Copies of this chain bind each other. A is one copy, B any other.
Amino acid sequence: MKIERLAIIGVGLIGGSLARALKARGMVGEIVGCGRGEENLKKAVELGVIDRYTHDVGEAVEGADMIFLAVPLSAMRDTFAAMKGHIAENAVITDGGSAKGSVIEDCTSVFGEVLPNFVPGHPIAGTENSGVEASFAELYNDRRIILTPVYQTDEAAIARVQAMWRYCGAEVTRMLVVDHDRILAATSHLPHMLAFALVDMLSRLGDTEDIFRYAAGGFRDFTRIASSNPAMWRDICIANSDAVSSLVDSYADEMKELASVIRSRDGDRLLALFNNAKQARDRYVDGLNQQAEPLPTE
């Protein structure tokens, strides 16, 4: 199951860490990197993360038996188009996009079908840093990888992608595309929207200086994710537009209701709401703390 030649399109934190993990375990022959930034790719070679690089996607995937797409969601379609005609017979393709429906649509729009050897995936891992210099072999240790194959997807291809991630120490689960996009909208995309919107709103109040000066540590924890990559989050919102907009809308309704409960000083309803939230959070979230996980961004 060793990978002979791995092509990584987008050599940043996600792609670079996959390369390092597979190299560390001797599970890969050659790694070809592809991207736009010359500096970053040179650095990747210097660091031994990749063996060589090209700026041409077609050239990069030529002869590769495993292709990993770690490009922004907004670049997926063009990347598929650039691969067309260069994918080897025995190649398996997978990706790291934070939304899955849109990537599958991009694949379909380029190839007229979801390629049977394409296994859509999403590693639930990341840090606050980006670029190949931020990559490290342990990023995927004990992290979850969600694969969202469709009915056309070849089982052997799924097995190879699954094996690749397991070499990296990750736990691999399968999910329906719609479930992935809905669940991630709730647990990741919506919280990011709340944090971005909160900081944006506060930054437009009159006394911003004072507001941020008196912000306590809880505020910093709460808004940490508002420091995430804006372009990446624009892409995610567009890619998962239906699920995210519908949750943001429901949340707005919940907030309107809450405002009126606070305005009417209805202590019983406030207590019921806060109790329910605390119980749910303590029950589900703290249970997960048994798994040690590094700082995530998505």
Against B, the Cβ 8 Å flags (1 = close, 0 = not) of A193-210 are 111111111110101111
Given A196-B274, A285-B220, also A183-B201 (CB < 8 A): no
Query: Which B residues are CB-close (under 8 A) to A295?
Result: 217-218
Q: Which residue of B lies closest to A280 (CB)?
A: B203
Against B, the Cβ 8 Å flags (1 = close, 0 = not) of A270-298 are 11011111101110111111000111111
Instruction: Check B281 against A262 for contact (C-beta < 8 Å).
Output: no
Instruction: Check A258 against B216 for contact (C-beta < 8 Å).
Output: no
Asked whether any CB of chain B lies closer than 8 Å to the CB of A260, the reply is: yes
Instruction: Check A233 against B191 for contact (C-beta < 8 Å).
Output: no
Q: In whole angstroms, what is the CA distance A275 to B195 when docked? A: 12
Within 8 A of B (CB), among A214-266: 214-228, 230-231, 233-234, 237-238, 241-242, 244-246, 248-256, 258-260, 262-263, 265
Q: In whole angstroms, what is the CA distance A255 to B190 when docked? A: 11
Q: Which residue of B lies closest to A286 (CB)?
A: B227
Q: Which residue of B lies closest to A274 (CB)?
A: B230
Asked whether any CB of chain B lies closer than 8 Å to the CB of A187, the reply is: yes
Given A205-B186, A296-B216, also A200-B262 (CB < 8 A): no
Query: Which B residues are CB-close (under 8 A) to A217?
Result: 293-296
Instruction: Check B219 against A188 for contact (C-beta < 8 Å).
Output: yes
Instruction: Check A250 against B201 for contact (C-beta < 8 Å).
Output: yes
A interface residues, how many (CB within 8 angstroms): 96
Q: In whole angstroms, what is the CA distance A190 to B211 when docked? A: 12
Query: Which B residues are CB-close (under 8 A) to A199?
Result: 277-278, 280-281
Q: In whole angstroms, what is the CA distance A275 to B231 when docked? A: 8
The 4 A-B pairs of least Cβ separation, nearest first, read: A212-B284, A230-B274, A252-B255, A203-B280
Asked whether any CB of chain B lies closer than 8 Å to the CB of A49, the reply is: no
Given A196-B274, A208-B280, also A265-B238 (CB < 8 A): yes
